[in-house]
Amino acid sequence: MLDNTNSPVEKSSNGSTMGGRALRRFLGREESTLLLFLLAVILIFGTLEPSFFKFTNAVNVIRQVSILAISAFGMTFAILSGGFDLSVGAVSALAGVVGSMVARELGSAFGIPVSYVVGLLVGVGVGLINGFIISFMKISPLITTLGTMTIARGMAYIFTGGVSLYGVPDAFQWIGRGYVAKNILPMPVVVMIIVFFLSYIILNRTTFGRYVYAIGGNEEAARLSGVNVQKNKILIYTLVGTTAALSGIVLASRLGAGQAASNTGFELDVITAVVLGGVSMSGGEGRLEGTLIGVLIIGILANGLILMDVAPYYQLVVKGLALLFAVGLDLLRKRIK
Amino acid sequence: MDNVSFSVSLGEVHALLGENGAGKSTLIKLLTGVYPPDGGEIHLNGRKVNIDNPHHALQMGISAIYQDPILVPKLNVENNILLGREPNKNSFINQQKLSQQARQVLSELGLDVNVKQKVADLSPGKRQLVAIAKALSIEAQMLIMDEPTAALTDQEVSHLFQVIRKLRDQGISVIFVSHRMEEVFQIADRITVLRDGKHIGTRTVAETSYSELVHMIVGRNIEIETLSRRPPREEIALEVKGISSGRVFKDISFFIRQGEIVALAGLVGSGRTDVARAIFGASAVESGQFSLYGEEYRPRTPHHAINNGVFMVPEDRKGQGIIPGLSVLVNISLANLKKYSRWSFLNFKDEREAVASQIQQLRIVPNDPKRKVMNLSGGNQQKVVLAKSLDAQSRVLILDEPTAGVDVGAKSEIRSLINQLADKGNAILLISSEIPEVLALANRVIVMKEGQIVGELRNAEATSERIIHLAMTGER
């Protein structure tokens, strides 16, 4: 793609300098503009607010985005395949509620892993349902997940009666508040790193990951090449549901309680992070590393603005502007190339 | 298209005939302003005119309707007929006047259609008539009809012809494009034949005959040298018995031996592609049987067909063949990833080596497996799709227009590849609109017309004339 002879850059830079070639190689990489953007944001905040560069703050930023990141890695699969999933926020709340209910019932330390697993199964279940409806009933991902989102949120309210579920054993808070290596590496960050590596391997090293790209790139061509589109779509939405549930358990564990109203509007943050990371909404194009960068940009913007005492309402405006700016910049890069 | 001259008189029905790709569509696009001519002139009512865009063509009273009428299916008949020209006052539509005008247009044509009905609920024939009503409501002087009868029943066709005769008697000129010879003889006053973008001749219906027209349509085609290969083996690879699918095709039976190339000939819309898709499991059949190497085979999905050693290279390369945004490597190995993986984990080395050998064998240029397929030429894109089918190691290959939209050099490379595959013992079902290609490659030619097999020709007895004659008239 770099030596596409139709591109104007190629024509003008025939026999050009090393710099020109390096620039072109840089522009050719999908994440290049994003990385630049991320670095720029870091530099600006670092200069304006020296405490930004402290190690504890860096860990803090990553811990704050970990819940978003876990879901965004799953969402990347759905968007790469040409779909998306609006139910992730509601599923995460439902998983947190169900997980803390189980933990409260079982009480003992033994019950904690069980509660995490049951919470995860909620996500697996909703994901399977989403996948089945999208694959077999051919209802669009928008409508399907809008429906299951509403149902899941409603069930979370029904289970809790609208109040926070306190009285959960302290051990439940391990995955949200615990640390690996005394006060250095928070558990949510560990979970995020594990989910990133697993997702990376699944996306880049397995046949399933290849099929995700193929379905997003041209669903009919994939089908005629023998790809079992329906089965793979079910897997995709199950994966999204599972990561959403995992982020919901981490959140409930942090809060020490299942809350039906938690993560409201979360789905839009997740989609924003993925798109900001350069994953094309039309499918087939983008990388998991991009999503990671997108998540970090969102986290750093939020953190930096807080450090600089910017009022929370302005943070929303900045987040929206960042999305438009980053995607616009990426389109510009493609045009120049 | 090259140096075509022809004229249409007032109140004349003028038919355009020619093979697929002879230049009929291009001529229509010039007349309706879709693209401008490189040279030459268009005269309307004795005055020289420039038709710059479709809107301009409409203003001059040139209106076209197509095989699939361009209507808004969710709107009702009256809103479709007067779309964009609704009687209004300050942008508020006068509903009464709208209905009245639509009814008037329909009654002038002698059409009995409820103006309140949604277009989506009409039969294809009625839809075609609504499209004509719409075209005429612009006060068209010239009506261009591109295969208007392709989707119609016999009864609907005869109704359409009544309407066309009525228009002709009112002094409206009609250009009528059709593949169906008998219809042309029924409706046309004069007939013009195009071939390879050239004007071959114009005849009045009275002074010509089927055989003369077939001769004009076929001409002396450039012969493609027949490639030598071993004769087919005895064993039958694929057999279909009496497969039918609604109105698309009916009672199709044939077989292909190992190492044999069987061509499915016929005009566009004759059901060739639909039969191919049914064998590949890409669309369903209602009845009939399939067998592979003597064993019963029921194609359910392409996935299932590929697992049984059947592969199809689809006609629509961009929409169904390639994944444009992904690399050559990913495209080629897609159908055979099971072989390059263990427990679902990809073995990149095996995959790379297999793809490299395909790229080399098919001489795909550039030979860079990481290149996105959309940055390749049409010929190389087609080679990527063929490479995918070879990589899948199928015993039965269905090739739907494998050389369409490909440059001359790539065409001959692809042909010799097809020949080699048959030589190695693959059974091949070839669909091609290029008759010389069919003659050069196929052991037998099965000709389809309107969803049915109308005849089979052995290579020795097949000629361009006989194939075209069979495909157009259904008679030997």
Find out whether the peptide bond into B369 is cis, omega within 30 degrees of 0.
no
Q: CB under 8 Å to A197, separation ≥6 — which residues? A: none
* Radius of gyration, CA atoms only, chain A: 21
Q: What is the pLDDT of residues B370-404, one digit of tens each?
A: 999 998 888 899 999 999 998 888 899 999 999 88
Alpha helices per DSSP H over B140-228: 154-169, 181-187, 210-218
Coarse DSSP helix, strand, coil percentages of chain A, rounded to the nearest 5 percent: 75, 0, 20
State the Cα–Cα distance between residues B147 and B54, nearest whole angstrom. 19
> Would you state the pLDDT for residue A29?
65
> What is the model's pLDDT at position A23?
66
For the segment A313-325, the average pLDDT, to the nearest whole number, is: 85
Inspect the interface and report whether the beta carbons of B346 and A210 lie closer than 8 Å.
yes
Count chain A–chain B contacts defined by CB atoms under 8 A: 78
What are B11's two structure tokens? 């109140």
Q: Which of B335, B328, B381 is nearest to B355 (CA)?
A: B328
Q: Please name the residue of chain B whose CA is at the shortest distance from the CA of residue A227.
A: B303
Query: What is the pLDDT confidence band of residue B321, given thresholds at 50, 70 and 90?
Result: very high
| Least CB–CB distance from A220: residue in B280, B320, B371 | B320
Read off the pLDDT of each residue in B327-342 and give the average, rounded to a whole number: 92
Asked if the model's pLDDT at residue A15 lies above 50, the reply is no
Determine, for residues A285 and B321 on separate chains, whether the beta-carbon distance falls below 8 Å: no
Q: Please indicate whether residue A282 or residue B408 has the higher confidence score (pLDDT).
A: A282
**Which residues in chain B are closer than 8 Å to A228, comparing Cβ atoms?**
301, 303
Say if the Cβ atoms of B337 and A217 lie within 8 Å. no
- CA atoms within 13 Å, Cβ hemisphere of B285: 26
Residue labelled with tokens 């289970």: A159
Q: Which residue of chain A is at minimal alpha-carbon distance from B332?
A: A225
Residue A316 is inside which H or E element, if any?
Answer: helix A312-336
pLDDT at A8: 36
Contact by Cβ (8 Å): B454, B267: no
Q: Is A337 on the interface with B (CB under 8 A)?
A: no
Q: What is d(CA B259, CA B368) in angstroms, rounded to the nearest whole number?
A: 32
Inform me whether the C-beta atom of residue A7 falls under 8 Å from chain B C-beta atoms.
Answer: no
**Using a CB-CB distance cutoff of 8 angstroms, which residues of chain B are in contact with residue A223?**
282, 301-303
Residues of B within an 8 Å Cβ radius of A: 280, 282, 301-303, 305-307, 312, 314, 319-326, 330, 334-335, 337-338, 341, 344-346, 371-372, 375, 388, 392
Shortest distance, CA B383 to any CA of chain A (angstroms): 15
Sort A283 into a burial class: Cβ within 10 Å, 0-12 / 13-18 / 19+. Answer: buried
Contacts of B299 (CB under 8 A, 6+ apart): B278, B279, B280, B281, B290, B305, B308, B310
Average pLDDT of the residues in A303-327: 84
Dihedral pair phi/psi, residue B440, rounded to 5°: -75, -30
- Going A118 to A120 to A126 to A129, the CA torsion angle's sign is negative
Out of A206, A221, A285, name the one closest to residue B344 (CB): A206
Tens digits of per-residue pLDDT, B105-117?
888 777 788 889 9
Do A214 and B334 lie within an 8 Å CB cutoff? yes
- Show residues of chain A in contact with B321, CB under 8 Å: 221, 224
* CB pair distance less than 8 Å for B334 and A224: no
B335 → closest Cβ in A205, A225, A285: A225
Q: Do B325 and A285 touch (CB under 8 A)?
A: yes
H-run or E-run covering B454: strand B452-458
Min CA distance, A17 vs chain B (Å)? 24
Residue B66 burial class via C-beta count within 10 angstroms: exposed 0-12, middle 13-18, buried 19 and up: middle
Asked if residue B77 lies in contact with residue B41, where contact means CB atoms within 8 angstroms, the answer is no
pLDDT band at A7 (very low <50, low <70, confident <90, very high): very low
Q: Distance (Å) from the C-alpha of residue A24 to the closest C-alpha of chain B? A: 16
> Judging by beta carbons within 10 Å of its beta carbon (0-12, 13-18, 19+), is residue A137 exposed, middle or buried?
exposed
Whether A11 has a pLDDT exceeding 50, the answer reads: no
Q: Which residues contact A118 (CB under 8 A, 6 or more apart)?
A: A98, A99, A102
B172: left (phi over 0), alpha (psi -120 to 50) or beta: beta
Whether residue A326 is predicted with pLDDT greater than 80 in this model: the reply is: no
Q: Which of B303, B322, B345 lies at the smallest CB-CB distance from A228?
A: B303
Question: Beta partners for A230?
Answer: none
**Interface touch B341/A207, C-beta < 8 Å:** yes
Mean pLDDT within A80-99:
96
* CB–CB contact A213 B307 (8 Å): no
Tokens of A102: 């189980």
Q: pLDDT: is B23 or B223 the higher one? A: B23
Q: pLDDT by residue (tens digit) across A189-239?
A: 999 999 999 999 999 999 999 999 999 999 999 999 999 999 999 999 999
CA distances in angstroms from B217 to A199, A256, A315, B202, listed in the order given: 59, 82, 71, 12
Core vs surface per residue B71-93: b (16+ CB within 10 A) or e: beeeebbbbbbbeeebeeeeeee
Name which residue leads in pLDDT, A14 or A34: A34
CATH T-level topology, domain A52-336: ABC transporter involved in vitamin B12 uptake, BtuC (1.10.3470)
Q: Which of A51-55, B22-26, B322-326 has the lowest mean pLDDT?
A: B22-26
CB nearest to B337's CB, from A210, A217, A221 = A210
Place B259 in a pLDDT band, splitting at 50, 70 and 90.
very high
Q: Is residue B116 a contact partner of residue B78, using CB atoms and an 8 Å limit?
A: yes
Residue-range domains of chain B with CATH: 13-218 (3.40.50.300), 236-473 (3.40.50.300)
Q: Give the residue from A290, A257, A255 showing the smallest Cα distance to A69.
A: A290
The beta strand positions in B77-151, using DSSP E, are: 88-89, 92-93, 142-146
Comparing CB atoms, the residue among A1, A206, A218 nearest residue B346 is: A206
Mutate to test the interface with B, among A29, A80, A204, A225 (most CBs of B within 10 A): A225
| pLDDT per position as a tens digit, B45-82 | 777 888 888 888 888 888 888 777 788 889 999 999 88
Say if residue A1's pLDDT is above 50.
no
Put simply, the answer to whether A218 touches B324 (Cβ < 8 Å) is yes
| Distance of residue B288 Cα from the nearest chain A Cα, in angstroms | 22
Residues of chain B by 3-state class (helix, strand, coil), percent to 5: 35, 25, 40
Distance CA(B329)–CA(B64), nearest Å, equals 44
Residue B37 has pLDDT above 80, yes or no: no
CA distance B147 to A137: 35
Buried b or exposed e, range A23-46, using 16+ CB within 10 angstroms: bbeebbebbbbbeebbeebbeebe
Domain ranges in chain A are: 52-336
- Per-residue confidence (pLDDT) for residue A248, from 0 to 100: 96
Q: Is A13 on the interface with B (CB under 8 A)?
A: no
In sequence order, the 6+-apart residues with CB closer than 8 A to the CB of B166 are B109, B110
- 3-class DSSP state for residue B238? strand
Is residue B149 within 8 Å of B157, Cβ to Cβ? Answer: yes
Q: What is the pLDDT of residues B420-452, one digit of tens each?
A: 999 999 999 999 888 888 988 999 999 998 889
Whether B430 and B438 have beta carbons less than 8 Å apart is answered as: yes
Average pLDDT, rounded, for chain B: 87
End-to-end CA distance of chain A: 9
Q: Is B432 left (phi over 0), alpha (psi -120 to 50) or beta?
A: beta
Give the pLDDT of residue A4.
37
The nearest CA of chain B is from the CA of A329 a distance in Å of 20
Higher pLDDT, A33 or B93: B93
A40 Cβ contact partners less than 8 Å away, ≥ 6 residues apart: none
Inter-chain residue contact A217 with B345, CB threshold 8 Å: no
CA distance B353 to chain A (A): 17
Residue that wins the pLDDT comparison between B21 and B134: B134
